[in-house]
Homo-oligomer: A and B are copies of this chain.
Amino acid sequence: MNYQIELRHFIYFLAVAEELHYRKAAEKLFISQPGLSTQIKQMEEILGTQLFVRDKKKVQLTPAGAYLKKEVEFILNHLDQTKKQVKLIGSGQMGEVRIGFLGSAMQSVVPDLLLQLKEKFPGVHTTLEELSNRSQINAILADRLDLGFVRLARVPKGLEVKSVFEDTFSLVLPAGHVLDERDFKHIGQVANEDFILFSQDYSPMYYDTVLSICEDSGFVPNVSHKSVHAQTIFKLVENKLGIAIVPTTLQHGFQMKVKFIEMKNIKQRAVLSMVWKSDNRNPALQNCMDLLLKL
């Protein structure tokens, strides 16, 4: 009667919370459904709180269950990371920093940073993952990621941000476009063209900034396509399906039949920021931040 919560409970709970279906969850866990039922029930008894509502053909989380789900996700992620760190420290290496980045960050600062990190802390292993702004924020909050490179004006409470690179914007035109660098005065000259932009979901800040650039020239762009890949955007421009506005450094690393016209005379900049959790417990990240904040 006087049991203790165990990690097993959490893993089972998470499976049910995700599937909202006992049999499916049990299959995923490779255990029998009755076993799962009793374990969840026991868990509810230990916590003294109902976690699921099972009424007639459907399983749902209670408010307490929904809260617990978030916490359990965090705890299990943190535990995984801790296990890795323990192994690394135990084997004499220093640790791991899990880094997320927007595709557009790979052209400018991130490679530099990785080189510096490798030099100063050869023992620190880094993992890299290309993710959207939103995914990075969520991953950092859930402790699946230590450090993110995003383009965001604001971040949730509990996270710290530091701007690391300010880039001008460039107009991207098909190679044979009539407008040339010499003739270019302002963006209003291409107001009638179709625009190809990064999706608003992918980077709201980028989207807003581009709109504000156009607004400053007195027009609302006609957005014909949206994409999350620079590659795709350039390809579309190359095929004359529209023109684009992107951070200037994005021109490096792609072989495309497009021309870039840097817009130095406008005030808007593409700001790339680092984000991390104020209370991140990864000792390798501490070292990493000490280095990075000095740059």
Partner of A87, one of B47, B78, B83: B47
A126 proximal to B (CB < 8 A): no
A34 proximal to B (CB < 8 A): no
Closest to A49 in B: B90
- Are A82 and B71 in contact, CB atoms less than 8 angstroms apart? yes
- Are B95 and A63 in contact, CB atoms less than 8 angstroms apart? yes
- Are A75 and B78 in contact, CB atoms less than 8 angstroms apart? yes
Q: How far is the CA of A6 from the CA of B79 in the complex (A)?
A: 11
Interface residues of A (CB under 8 A from B): 4-8, 47-50, 53, 60, 62-64, 67-68, 70-71, 74-75, 78-79, 82-83, 85-87, 89-91, 95-96, 281-284
A31 to chain B, nearest CB (A): 13
> Contacts A90-B49, A90-B62 given: A83-B283 contact, CB under 8 Å?
no
- Are A281 and B71 in contact, CB atoms less than 8 angstroms apart? yes
- Are B87 and A283 in contact, CB atoms less than 8 angstroms apart? no
A89 to chain B, nearest CB (A): 4
- Are A63 and B89 in contact, CB atoms less than 8 angstroms apart? yes
- Are B282 and A63 in contact, CB atoms less than 8 angstroms apart? yes
> Contacts A7-B6, A47-B87, A90-B47 given: A82-B68 contact, CB under 8 Å?
yes
**Residues of chain B within 8 A of A281, CB atoms compared:** 53, 60, 62-63, 70-71, 74
Name the prevailing secondary structure of the A interface residues: helix
Closest to A78 in B: B75
A182 to chain B, nearest CB (A): 56
The 5 closest A-B pairs by CB, nearest first: A49-B90, A64-B90, A64-B89, A71-B82, A6-B6
- Are A67 and B49 in contact, CB atoms less than 8 angstroms apart? no
Interface centre among A4, A75, A79, A82, by most chain B C-beta atoms within 10 angstroms, is A82
Q: How far is the CA of A74 from the CA of B68 in the complex (A)?
A: 17
Closest to A82 in B: B71
**Residues of chain B within 8 A of A86, CB atoms compared:** 47, 49, 64, 67-68, 71
**Residues of chain B within 8 A of A284, CB atoms compared:** 63
**Residues of chain B within 8 A of A8, CB atoms compared:** 4, 6
Partner of A75, one of B60, B62, B67, B75: B75
Q: How far is the CA of A71 from the CA of B84 in the complex (A)?
A: 12
A59 to chain B, nearest CB (A): 12
- Are A91 and B7 in contact, CB atoms less than 8 angstroms apart? no
- Are B7 and A90 in contact, CB atoms less than 8 angstroms apart? no
Closest to A10 in B: B7
**Residues of chain B within 8 A of A60, CB atoms compared:** 281
